């Protein structure tokens, strides 16, 4: 067995929705670095084009287009566009998500719809469209973005967490439907990653540091540290993994409260 080759994505064709920034951008870069040709998409066209340009400057293959991930018609058009440009879609990654930090009592219907439409319905649309392509091909890997908030929560995150829990269950259900056609479906579940979504927390040092102390390694994560998991799930190294949500949380969900006893134990 050539284990090194299992991680090689040379010749693969990838679609990354959410590639303008954060985890999506890093995922596009990681897939390209391992040999995949990547079609980058996001609602922010300028930043998506910048991601594709950076990949090309590093010697990779990438192009870009604009898509509103919450719009089913636009997602369908994106998948058709990517398939026409790439010839096939072997890897499909979707990462867009938003949160409005409010308690349930304070949510308006419009705010609720905005979160559900992007986080959950957008993932559903993406699964439908890339799933059809991959079932026809008899091969493919689909990766969605859940969160630790699918299982652990705090005030103000109930609606966001509900959408992320829904994504993890959708992954299981869809994996059961397309697995016999050679298609794998998984999700990643990051904890505290430094992205645009979490940027407001960085402006509040006491909260930022408290969150860092809740992990067993005492720091926030970087998008690149999530992108490596995406690349693994996309590769043949993960050929027997489907219907799973992979925690990338530095032990956030492994402990109840900060690991205050570690210093004493180390003495």
Task: Say which CATH number the domain at 54 has.
Answer: 3.40.50.720
Question: What is the pLDDT, as a whole number, of residue 262?
Answer: 46
Number of structural domains in the chain: 1
In a domain, 158, yes or no: yes
Give me the residues of the chain with pLDDT under 50, please: 262-267
Asked whether residue 109 is domain-assigned, the answer is: yes
Six-digit token string for 196: 């645009």
Spell out where the chain has E strands: 13-17, 37-42, 61-66, 91-94, 140-145, 183-190, 245-248
Q: By residue range, what is the domain housing residue 202?
A: 3-250
DSSP code string of 10-34: TT-EEEEETTTSHHHHHHHHHHHHT
pLDDT digits (tens, 9 = 90+) for 174-231: 999 999 999 999 999 999 999 877 777 877 888 889 889 989 999 999 999 999 999 9
Give a yes or no: residue 100 inside a domain. yes
Which pLDDT score is estimated for 266?
43
- Does residue 264 lie within any of the structural domains? no
Q: Which pLDDT does position 259 carry in this prediction?
A: 56
pLDDT value at residue 206: 86
Please report whether residue 72 resides in a domain. yes
Distance of CA 24 to the CA centre of its chain: 6
On whether residue 255 sits in a domain, the answer given is: no
Beta-carbon neighbour count of residue 5 at 10 Å?
11
**Residues 6 or more apart in contact with residue 33 via CB below 8 angstroms:** 58, 60
Distance CA 146, CA 247 (A): 9
- Closest to 142 (Cα-Cα) out of 248, 221, 242, 228: 242
pLDDT of residue 207: 86
Q: Is 160 a catalytic residue?
A: yes
Of 3, 107, 160, 240, catalytic = 160
- pLDDT, residue 37, reads 98
């Amino acid at each position: 067995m050539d284990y090194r080759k299992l991680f090689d994505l040379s010749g693969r064709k990838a679609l990354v929705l959410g590639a303008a920034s954060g985890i999506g951008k890093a995922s596009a870069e990681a897939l390209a670095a391992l040999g995949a040709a990547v079609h980058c998409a996001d609602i922010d066209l300028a930043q998506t084009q910048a991601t594709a340009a950076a990949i090309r400057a590093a010697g990779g293959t990438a192009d870009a287009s604009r898509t509103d991930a919450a719009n089913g018609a636009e997602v369908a058009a994106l998948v058709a566009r990517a398939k026409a440009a790439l010839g096939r879609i072997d890897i499909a990654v979707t990462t867009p998500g938003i949160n409005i930090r409010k308690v349930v009592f304070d949510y308006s219907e419009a705010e609720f719809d905005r979160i559900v439409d992007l986080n959950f319905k957008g993932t559903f649309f993406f699964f439908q469209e890339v799933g059809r392509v991959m079932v026809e091909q008899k091969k493919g890997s689909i990766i969605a973005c859940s969160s630790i908030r699918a299982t652990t929560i705090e005030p103000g995150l109930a609606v966001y967490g509900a959408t992320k829990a829904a994504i993890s269950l959708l992954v299981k259900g869809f994996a059961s439907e397309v697995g016999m056609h050679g298609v794998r479906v998984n999700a990643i579940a990051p904890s505290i990653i430094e992205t645009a979504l979490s940027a407001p927390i960085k402006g509040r040092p006491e909260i930022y540091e408290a969150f860092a102390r809740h992990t067993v390694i005492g720091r926030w994560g970087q998008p690149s540290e999530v992108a490596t998991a995406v690349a693994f799930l996309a590769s043949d190294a993960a050929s027997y993994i489907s219907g799973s949500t992979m925690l990338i949380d530095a032990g956030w969900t492994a402990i109840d409260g900060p690991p205050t006893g570690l210093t004493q134990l180390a003495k």
